[in-house]
Amino acid sequence: MGIKYTKRYTEEFKRDAIALVDSSGKTVTAVARELGISSESLRGWYRKARADRGEGAPGELTSAEREELRRLRKENREQQQTIEILKKATVSSRAAADWSPAA
């Protein structure tokens, strides 16, 4: 079994590739082939760029909205953990208060 390697591209490279698709009139696949990159990668970058410009599919989130959603989900998860800890502490303290040693 081989090691899976994911190539990372700079934001500048992504912007340039997206601009090339917009300005050349070529398909995403043709531009990706010229640049020697995966057409699926370029298609994903292009879709996100269109959403960020307000040209995406209805209901598609912008990068800012995706980041806010990620942040809110993390915050919600942390609050749920805090609530669970407080519930357990409350149950433990009640049990300790109800317990009295036999005289």
Contact (Cβ atoms closer than 8 angstroms) between residue 33 and residue 42:
no
Please say if the pLDDT value at position 67 is more than 60: yes
pLDDT higher than threshold 90 for residue 42:
yes
Nearest one of 55, 64, 54, 49 to 16, comparing CA atoms: 49
62 within 8 A of 52, measured Cβ to Cβ: yes
Q: Which tokens is 77 given?
A: 């998860």
For the stretch 14-32, pLDDT in tens is 999 999 999 999 999 999 9
Quote the percentage of the chain above a pLDDT of 70: 88
Could you tell me the pLDDT band of residue 100, with boundaries at 50, 70 and 90?
A: low
What's the DSSP call for residue 13? Answer: H
Q: Tell me the whole-structure pTM to 2 decimals.
A: 0.61
Question: Which region among 10-14, 46-50, 87-91, 97-101 has the lowest average model confidence (pLDDT)?
Answer: 97-101
